[in-house]
Amino acid sequence: MKPTFLKYRNYAMSILLLLVLLAVESCSTVPLTGRRQLSLVPASEINAMSFQQYEQVLDTSRLSSNQEWANMVRSVGRDISQAVEQYMREIGEADNVEGFEWEFNLIAEDIINAWAMPGGKVAFYEGIMPIARDKTGVAVVMGHEIAHAIAKHGAERMSLGLAQQLGGATLQAALSQQPQMTQQLAMTAFGLGSQIGVQLPYSREHESEADRLGLMFMAKAGYDPREAPRFWQRMQAKAGGSRPPEFLSTHPNPETRINQLNKYMDEAVAVYQQNR
């Protein structure tokens, strides 16, 4: 073997060993699904970064003047966030939402998109509202996006980025030593691109997990989960054009999503009937 090849192979093995050690020593568990995830970043630190980025989004965007839609987003957001907090208390994981500062805004852009940052900062865009149609449709999207925050998918992606690119450095050390790279990692972790507000895709695992959690969250808040497949059917119809919606471009195929949702529908409907 050539020395250069051995060098890179040894480096790759070292990184792999580091990731394995980190995974063993620094894991948390996702509520409801029980999946183990890498957790290197304290919630307080990643939430602080999230709040800063959210303010930047609001500073560079125009909030919607459609009060009916904006109030709908805020009302559904409050319903689901309160149901989620109650659920976290019931299962003994109230610390999962400790430090959350819920905020729900509707941005005046005709793009089909919505997202949530760590710590409960949520944004919808006007373009998704005609597809949602009503509060139950908004709850489908809201439950899914809040699920990303509750499952700490952003923190998990940030942790993986720190492990892969900065050798598992703490967030504070990374910000001090390589601030630009750390900020880029944060943008990716929060699902935002180099252009603020442009959503980047989560992994298929994260998306499926958010679907399952979101279905239960909307049901616990008293919204009929059977609307979820219908919402994705409308999204699929919208995608029939030459340019797919932004929201759809970062998510799995609607047919796949509908099939996955239906697997958990009986459980979700039972929860809904208990909370309607």
123-135 pLDDT per residue, tens:
999 999 999 999 9
Geometric angle at alpha carbon 56, from 104 and 143, rounded to 5°: 25
Smallest CA-to-CA distance from 41 within 200, 181, 160 is with 160
Whether 5 is in a domain gets the answer no
With respect to residue 14, please indicate whether it lies within any of the assigned structural domains: no
With contact defined as beta carbons under 8 Å apart, do 225 and 267 qualify? no
Total domain count for the chain? 1
C-beta neighbour count of 95 within 10 angstroms: 9
Task: Report the pLDDT value the prediction gives residue 31, as an integer from 0 to 100.
Answer: 75
- Tell me, yes or no, whether 31 lies in a domain: no
Q: What is the pLDDT of residue 19?
A: 47
Strand ranges of the sheet holding 103-107, from the earlier edge strand across to the other edge: 103-107, 121-125, 114-117
- The CA distance from 98 to 142, in Å, is 20
Within-domain flag for 19:
no
Q: How far is CA 41 from the centre of its chain?
A: 16
**Inside any domain, residue 17:** no
* Rounded average pLDDT over 160-187: 55
Q: Is 2 domain-assigned? A: no
**Do 118 and 43 form a contact (C-beta atoms < 8 A)?**
yes
What CA–CA distance (Å, rounded) separates 62 from 167?
A: 39
Average pLDDT over residues 148-156: 86
- Domain limits for position 205: 42-275
State what percent of residues in the chain have pLDDT above 90. Answer: 46
For residue 172, the surrounding DSSP H or E stretch is helix 171-177
Given a cut of 80, whether residue 79 has pLDDT beyond it is yes
Q: Looking up tokens 């005709």, which residue turns up? A: 110
Q: Is the pLDDT of residue 112 over 60?
A: yes
Q: What confidence tier does 180 reach under pLDDT thresholds 50, 70, 90?
A: low
Predicted pLDDT at 16: 47
145 carries an active-site annotation:
yes
Q: What is the mean pLDDT of residues 37-49?
A: 80
The residue-averaged pLDDT of 169-181 equals 50
Which residues 6+ apart lie within 8 Å of 135 measured at CB?
72, 75, 76, 223
On whether residue 155 sits in a domain, the answer given is yes
Query: Tell me: the pLDDT tens digits for 225-263?
Result: 999 999 999 988 887 654 455 455 555 677 788 999 999
Q: Look up residue 181 and give its amino acid.
A: M
* Domain-embedded: residue 264: yes
Which residue of the set 68, 101, 109, 145 is catalytic? Answer: 145
pTM of the predicted model as reported, rounded to 2 decimal places: 0.79
Q: Looking at residue 195, what is its pLDDT?
A: 46
**pLDDT at residue 6, as a whole number:** 44
Encode burial over 99-133: b for 16+ CB neighbours within 10 A, e otherwise.
ebebbbbbbebebbbbbbbbbbbbbbbbbbbebbe
User: Residue 163 — pLDDT band, cuts 50, 70, 90?
Assistant: low
| Cα dihedral 201, 215, 91, 274 in deg (nearest 10) | 170
Q: Are the C-beta atoms of 246 and 112 separated by less than 8 Å? A: yes
Q: What is the pLDDT of residue 186?
A: 57
Whether residue 41 has pLDDT greater than 90: no
Q: Is the pLDDT confidence value at 45 over 60? A: yes
Burial of 8 (0-12, 13-18, 19+ CB in 10 A): exposed
